[in-house]
């Protein structure tokens, strides 16, 4: 099977690196000759990656077309192509609905939306899909944790939650900076914070979903340090602002897919 990526940006590179480095994928991948430095680098690094000059040429040579251009470019890029009815179209574009994709990709009807995250480069992280699709899940299962839903409104919940990424990095960096400003050297501070966040996240993955909500209470003792910190944060609305922020992003995604 040949997979062709329309768009050779940040997330295309992460997926390709994940497939070949983390999952030892052996199939052929085509990339468009866009972001020339990146497409060149990928083809030099991986013998099974080939750069193709024109989008139409790429579409003709692959079985799956992965749409990895910016959301506002999707309709135009797809509409300019002749896509075969038997081709699978996998769209990574945030907020571009299945209806819009099916119109732009006609006569192809096998259309799947996917949200990968940058850690996919290391074979890690969630990969949300809509609708569920065995073949697409089998591919992405090699480099992430697939979650698939039939309902596009539910899929938007994954899109909204994926926006936590910058806030997370901001928090890790902010805590590290605070320790550094208090006199701890930066490498030692970073070593501590990154190991802490990594270990805490790792424990959540091991937790059954039914008891995820008890983890916070379980690690607090009355009057203890964790209890004091959490109560201080919640007094200034940290928890509520998390939910409010997610609601904002969800509203934005829902209005885009109306």
Ligand X SMILES: NC(=O)c1ccc[n+]([C@@H]2O[C@H](COP(=O)([O-])OP(=O)(O)OC[C@H]3O[C@@H](n4cnc5c(N)ncnc54)[C@H](OP(=O)(O)O)[C@@H]3O)[C@@H](O)[C@H]2O)c1
- With respect to ligand X, which residue has the nearer C-beta, 6 or 189? 6
Smallest distance, ligand X to C-beta of residue 144, A: 11
Smallest distance, ligand X to C-beta of residue 116, A: 5
Smallest distance, ligand X to C-beta of residue 3, A: 15
By the criterion CB under 6 A, which residues form the site for ligand X? 6-12, 32, 34-35, 55, 68-71, 73, 77, 92-94, 115-118
Smallest distance, ligand X to C-beta of residue 5, A: 9
Interatomic CA distance for residues 151 and 158, integer angstroms: 12
- With respect to ligand X, which residue has the nearer C-beta, 68 or 193? 68
Name the residue with the smallest CB distance to ligand X: 9
- With respect to ligand X, which residue has the nearer C-beta, 145 or 228? 145
- With respect to ligand X, which residue has the nearer C-beta, 83 or 93? 93
């Amino acid at each position: 099977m040949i997979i062709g990526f329309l768009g050779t940006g940040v997330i295309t590179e992460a997926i390709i690196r994940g497939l070949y480095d983390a999952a030892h994928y052996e199939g052929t991948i085509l990339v468009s000759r866009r972001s020339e430095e990146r497409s060149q680098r990928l083809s030099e690094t991986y013998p099974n990656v080939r750069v193709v000059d024109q989008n139409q040429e790429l579409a003709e040579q692959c079985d799956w077309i992965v749409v990895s251009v910016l959301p506002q470019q999707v309709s135009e890029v797809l509409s300019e192509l002749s896509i075969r009815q038997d081709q699978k179209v996998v769209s990574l574009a945030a907020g571009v609905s299945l209806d819009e994709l099916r119109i732009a990709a006609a006569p192809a009807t096998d259309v799947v939306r996917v949200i990968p995250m940058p850690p996919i480069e290391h074979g890690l992280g969630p990969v949300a899909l809509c609708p569920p699709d065995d073949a697409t899940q089998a591919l992405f299962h090699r480099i992430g944790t697939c979650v698939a839903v039939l309902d596009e409104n539910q899929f938007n919940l994954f899109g909204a939650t994926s926006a936590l990424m910058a806030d997370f990095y901001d928090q890790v960096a902010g805590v590290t900076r605070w320790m550094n400003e208090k006199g701890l050297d930066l490498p030692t501070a970073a070593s501590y914070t990154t190991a802490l966040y990594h270990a805490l996240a790792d424990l959540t993955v091991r937790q059954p979903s039914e008891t995820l909500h008890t983890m916070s209470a379980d690690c607090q003792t009355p009057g203890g340090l964790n209890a004091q910190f959490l109560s201080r944060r919640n007094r200034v609305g940290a928890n509520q602002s998390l939910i409010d922020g997610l609601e904002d992003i969800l509203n934005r995604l829902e209005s885009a897919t109306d």
